[in-house]
Amino acid sequence: MSINKDQIAGRVKEAAGTVQEAAGKALDNKNQQVKGNVNKNLGHVQAKFGDAKSDLKDAVKGSDSK
């Protein structure tokens, strides 16, 4: 399984969003919590897109070798 830019960027964005959300909770800042939650979920979607892209690429490579 190969790693692509979407997987990396998505997981980084997801982690940053989690930190931002936690900071918002700690500071009782609802705006920061919401921004963190949005970034976390966008990162998750981007990472899953990268996973799907990688799986498709691996499947195509596998069918070429048959």
Q: Which helix (H) or strand (E) holds 36?
A: helix 30-64
Query: For residue 66, is pLDDT > 60?
Result: no
Greater confidence (64 vs 57) lies with: 57
Alpha-carbon distance 16 to 3, whole Å?
Answer: 20
Query: For residue 25, is pLDDT > 90?
Result: yes
- Local confidence band at 2 (pLDDT 50, 70, 90 cut-offs): confident
How many structural domains comprise the chain?
1
Q: Is 12 left (phi over 0), alpha (psi -120 to 50) or beta?
A: alpha
Domain of 10 in residue numbering reads as 5-64
Residues 44-50 have a mean pLDDT of 97
